[in-house]
Structure 1
Amino acid sequence: MSGFSWGGFGRDTRVLQLNLEDADADNHTKLTEDRYEVLVNGERVGYKTLLNQSDSVSDIDDFLQNKGFPTFTSNLDGDHYDIQVSDDIFQNVKDTLEVYLNNR
């Protein structure tokens, strides 16, 4: 008898096992986009999506300093990035960040 069966499978059936769970872990490449909810004094302003490996949520800090807001604190808690500012610049910071986050 040859190795052929009428059921469509030969006797020498082989199974290929694929491990796709973390296929790119060794290369440290980004598999999905990271997204952070950005808040100013606890009020949501928008979302910062990191589009490539060189992006960082702390880019927001650099942006604010470049726009003339040197005094603020920022805190990353999970996927929430909360920026604390004084009440007198709150609206200006919020408006500036809304434009920044919507144009990206």
Structure 2
Amino acid sequence: MPLINGSYGDMFLVNLTQHANSKISHDRYDVYVNGDFVGHKTLLTQTEDITDVNDFLHSQGYNRYEASLNGDHFEIRAEDETATDLAEALQIYLQTR
């Protein structure tokens, strides 16, 4: 195990393999609708996933859109007539999560 010096000269043992497999910080995705930033989707637990956004949209009756994940950007493409309503619903969803 590697040794890391503490701020007061103390030594801490760190198992980097264990930390690599666990979630140290929260994953966060930037969500866009038709190229416009809508908000951040932060995954707070191991059971949350970026596809929760799709589940929310389907529960709100939005089914005609395309979504893709590019790194930490979750991009949604929707027809212009539904994009504004979809983006507003997503903003509320992302702010309350």
Shorter-normalised TM-score: what interval? 0.7 to 0.9
CA distance in 2, matches of 1:61, 1:53: 17
Normalising by structure 2, report the TM-score: 0.82
Q: Which runs of 4+ in 1 moved over 4 A?
A: none
Show CA shifts across 1:32-86 (max 9, x none).
1000000001100000000000000110001001100011110100000000100
Same amino acid, percent of matched pairs: 37
Q: Which residue of 2 aligns with 1:70?
A: 63
Match of 1:18 among 3, 13, 24: 13
Q: Choose which of 56, 60, 65 in structure 1 pairs with 2:49.
A: 56
CA–CA distance in 2 between the matches of 1:53 and 1:64? 21
Q: Take 2:40 and 2:29, find their aligned partners in 1: how far apart are those partners?
A: 5
Structure 2, gaps ≥5 residues long: 1-10
For residues 12-47 of structure 1, the C-alpha deviation after alignment (integer angstroms, 9 at most, x for no partner) is xxxx6723544434xx43211000000001100000
Structure 2 match to 1:9? none
Query: Is 1:93 equivalent to 2:86 in the alignment?
Result: yes
Q: Secondary structure at the match of 1:83?
A: strand
- Higher share of residues assigned helix: 2
Specify the SS of the correspondent of 2:80. coil
Counterpart residue identity of residue 29, structure 1 = S
SS in 2 for 1:89: helix
TM-score (norm 1): 0.77
Where does residue 41 of structure 1 map in the other structure?
34
**Aligned residues: CA RMSD:** 1.6
